[in-house]
């Protein structure tokens, strides 16, 4: 077997990052910014192994090609890299430290989810050949029926699956890679991407998957907020402990240190997903409106994908000591920007949780030591109300119920797909 290019590099100088939805939008911006910030901040001997995942072979190739071009441009034009390396700097030495691996994850983001209608459930139609890396009879996606309406088939909301559940299951399956032998080692990190939009009213427990609501996207993002912000709490540990434990008993005993969940959002960025004729006209008008909002003082308009990536990349690269000092798992970190476009990472208020899971009144907010756009009151939702202790209790109770339902769904789908039983396909066309 051929050795990997980073095999001789010490483990503490290897950084593995998997990014979902990496072919466009904020996902692509995360990959670009991760390359740039890694090269700017990590030792010149460190290696980045970046795994951008997409839904098709074609998109994977296009993404890798684009990122290689971006890497080459950074290595060639960065004056900071040249100054760090000295007079003997050569761009090839830099590009040799970034390794781009491709991956396909069709089970997370089905092709139509970005324009999913309210009430949509997972479309189990036959899957295009370029979306499934292995169309053997053992692959449940390869034998999906047109619309599986059998009573035995669990309902799975389309946006819920794409934004939350697919990634939730993926992170559990990756526990052997994310868990650690000792607390002395840097723990694995799962960085969730939410949105600036969701409020408490967007999510209902009796419509957990957002199938009945007219805002399934906002519902899934509010669910993401609750799931991530309560993942570390003692009140949810009894429920979440099984999720954070690798399935193989030997692996669980060998790797007892669980990964950490972190929460981010990209702010407001320009999207070209306009299902109308001549979308480029609407796109540029929309983009100008976003810039105008920023010029008028909004901190939540990075506008570009690259700008929207600053918060998740910061969490991926920040050292453990800083994250622990900030108690970063308790905070929703947002990508922000100053009036001049300077990228910032800003704490974001979450309804029912506040900024850090603690009550802060007007007087404490007035004493906020942050400056400029980083002050908590800057960009606060106009309908926001001061947090009460009872609301925090309610939020934690909601977190327990959310974790319980997510675990129930995970076990249900593992049983339905017979994942733990060794067979993942059904002869009658179930998926």
Q: Strand, coil or helix: what is 49?
A: strand
Whether 78 is a known active-site residue: answer no
User: Is-catalytic flag, 45?
Assistant: no
Residue 262 host element (H or E): strand 260-265
Which of 56, 78, 195, 217 is catalytic? The answer is 217
- Answer for the pair 186, 259: CB distance below 8 angstroms, yes or no: no
Locate 294 and state its tokens: 């920023």
Q: CA-CA distance, 45 to 15, in Å (whole number)?
A: 12
Report whether 258 contacts 190 (CB < 8 A). no
* Known active-site residue 194: yes
Q: Read off φ and ψ for residue 19, nearest 5 degrees.
A: -120, 125
Catalytic residue among 78, 194, 220, 260: 194
Q: Which of 59, 60, 78, 221 is catalytic?
A: 221
Phi and psi at 341, nearest 5°, equal 95, 5
CB-based burial of residue 15 (10 Å sphere; 0-12 exposed, 13-18 middle, 19+ buried)? middle
Which alpha helices (DSSP H) does 49-99 contain, by range? 57-77, 79-85, 91-95
- Rounded to 5 degrees, φ, ψ at 91 are -55, -35
Collapsing DSSP to helix, strand or coil, 121 comes out as: strand
d(CA 225, CA 205): 14
Which single residue is written with the structure tokens 């692996």? 251
- Active site residues per annotation: 194, 217, 221
């Amino acid at each position: 077997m051929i050795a990997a290019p980073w095999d001789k590099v010490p483990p503490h100088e290897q950084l593995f990052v998997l990014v979902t939805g990496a072919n466009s939008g904020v996902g692509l911006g995360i990959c670009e910014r991760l390359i740039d910030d890694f090269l700017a901040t990590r030792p010149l001997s460190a290696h980045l192994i970046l795994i951008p995942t997409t839904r098709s072979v074609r998109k994977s190739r296009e993404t890798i090609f684009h990122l290689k071009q971006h890497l080459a441009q950074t290595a060639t034009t960065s004056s900071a890299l040249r100054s760090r390396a000295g007079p003997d700097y050569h761009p090839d030495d830099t590009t040799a430290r970034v390794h781009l691996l491709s991956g396909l994850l069709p089970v997370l983001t089905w092709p139509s989810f970005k324009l999913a209608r309210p009430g949509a459930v997972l479309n189990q139609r036959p899957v295009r050949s370029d979306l499934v890396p292995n169309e053997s009879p053992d692959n449940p996606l390869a034998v999906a029926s047109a619309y599986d309406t059998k009573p035995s088939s669990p309902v799975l909301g389309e946006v819920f699956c794409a934004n939350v559940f697919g990634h939730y299951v993926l992170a559990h399956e990756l526990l052997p890679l994310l868990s650690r032998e000792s607390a002395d080692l840097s723990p694995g990190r799962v960085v969730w991407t939410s949105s600036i939009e969701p409020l408490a009213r967007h999510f209902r427990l009796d419509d957990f998957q957002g199938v009945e609501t007219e805002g399934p996207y906002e519902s899934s993002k509010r669910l993401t907020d609750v799931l991530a912000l309560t993942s570390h709490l003692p009140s949810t540990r009894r429920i979440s402990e099984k999720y954070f434990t690798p399935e193989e008993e030997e692996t669980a005993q060998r790797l007892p240190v669980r990964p950490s969940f972190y929460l981010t959002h990209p702010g407001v960025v320009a999207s070209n997903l306009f299902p109308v004729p001549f979308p480029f006209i609407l796109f540029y008008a929309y983009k100008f409106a976003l810039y105008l909002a920023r010029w008028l003082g909004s901190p939540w308009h990075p506008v570009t994908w690259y700008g929207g990536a600053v918060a998740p990349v910061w969490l991926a690269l920040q050292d453990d000591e800083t994250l622990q000092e900030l108690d970063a798992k308790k905070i929703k970190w947002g990508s922000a920007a100053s009036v001049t476009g300077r990228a910032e990472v800003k704490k974001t208020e979450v309804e029912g949780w506040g900024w850090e899971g603690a009550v802060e009144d007007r007087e404490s907010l007035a004493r906020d030591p942050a400056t400029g756009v980083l002050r908590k009151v800057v960009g606060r939702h106009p309908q926001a109300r001061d947090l009460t202790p009872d609301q925090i209790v309610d939020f934690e109770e909601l977190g327990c119920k959310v974790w319980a339902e997510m675990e129930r769904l995970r076990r249900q789908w593992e049983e339905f797909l017979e994942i733990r039983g060794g067979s993942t396909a059904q002869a009658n066309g179930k998926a």
